[in-house]
Amino acid sequence: MKLAAIDIGSNAIRLQIIRVIQENDLVSFKKLEYLRFPLRLGKDVFKEGKIGATTQQKFEKLMRIFKLLMDLYEVDDYIAVATSAMREAENGTSIVQQIATYFNLKIDIIAGKVEAEMLSKAIVPYLDDKNYIHIDVGGGSTELNLYKGKEKINSQSFKVGSVRQLNASDRKDKFKKMGEWMKLEENKLKKPIIAVGTGGNINKLYKLSRQQRNNSVSLTELSALRMYVKEFDYQKRINILKLNPDRADVIIPASEIYIEVMKLAGADQIMVPGVGLKDGLLYTLFEKTIGENIQNVQFLEQF
C-alpha cells in the first residue's frame, strides 16, 4: 500500500509519499519521496488578507506537480490539508475549489484544533508516563497541547508564528494569553513538565546544538543558540550557518516562541522527535484505511 500526505503551511508546502509495510504486528512507513517547497503563503495573507495572483500561480503549478508525482507513484490514497494561511485567506476556499476542479486534487482547510489532533498522532509514540507540553510553531500559528502520559489533556491554537509579523506589544499579549491558558490547566498536570518541539525551526536549532542528549535540548542551551544565531545577519546565516533563505529570516522569531512557552510552562528541557504534521497526516490516513487506531509506527528512510 502506498500513501501520500500534503501539508500546505504558511511558510512551506510539503509532500511525503510512503509505502506501508506490515509484518505481523509491526507497521512501518518507508519513505519513497519527500519534497519541501518554500512557497510562503503567509507572506501574502498576513499582510494583505489574501493570496496574491503570483503566489496563486506558483501554488497551482506546485499542486499540479504533486498530483503528477502521486500518479507516477500510483498511490492508493492521499490526504491534503491547508493550515493557518489558507484558512485566513479571503480567497482560500475558492483557490482549493479551483485545484479540485483543475487537477482532481482535494484539499481540506483545517482548523487549528484539527491540526493539533492530527499532529498528536505522530507525537504520542515518543511519550511515556511523564507530563508534557507539545509546542508546534508554524508560520502563522502556534499549537499547544498538554499531555499526561500519552493522554491529551487539552489543546489550544494561538495566532502567533514565525512568518506572521506582530509588533512587540502584540507578541507580548499573545504570550500573556498563553500563560493564562496554561494557568487554567495547571491543576491537571504535575511538574516537572517536559516540552516537545515540532516544526522546521526547532529541528534546525536542535541540529545546531552542541549538547544533544536523548533527542533533547535544555532551555539554557536553546536560549544560548538563539543569541548565537541572532549575532549573524540574514546573509551570514545563509553563508556561514548554511540555513536555507526561507529559514534564515524566521528562525529567530520562532525560537523566541519556543523559549517563552517553555518558561511559562516551567519546562527546562525540550524533546525534538523530528516529526511533523505530514507524519501525523499519514497516521490519520492509514487509520482511516484500516478502520482502527494504531499505537506505534516505525518510520524508515529511503534505502
Query: 75-99 pLDDT, tens per residue?
Result: 999 999 999 999 999 999 999 999 9
CATH number at residue 45: 3.30.420.40
Give the count of domains, the chain.
2
One domain, residues 247 and 156? yes
Cα gap 247→204, rounded to integer Å: 9
What's residue 293's pLDDT? 72
One domain, residues 137 and 249? yes
Cα gap 178→106, rounded to integer Å: 34
One domain, residues 178 and 249? yes
The model's pLDDT over 114-163, given as tens digits with 9 standing for 90+, comes to 888 888 888 888 898 999 999 999 888 899 999 999 888 888 889 888 88
One domain, residues 77 and 220? no
192 lies in which domain range? 113-271
Cα gap 35→174, rounded to integer Å: 32
One domain, residues 138 and 253? yes
Among 55-64, 98-107, 243-252, where is mean pLDDT lowest?
243-252
One domain, residues 152 and 23? no
Cα gap 116→155, rounded to integer Å: 7
One domain, residues 133 and 240? yes
One domain, residues 293 and 207? no
CATH number at residue 266: 3.30.420.150
Closest CA relative to residue 281, chosen from 102, 135, 108? 108
One domain, residues 87 and 33? yes
**CB of 202 within 8 A of CB of 271?**
no
Q: Phi/psi at 7 (nearest 5 deg)?
A: -115, 110
Give 120 or 251, the one with higher predicted confidence. Answer: 251
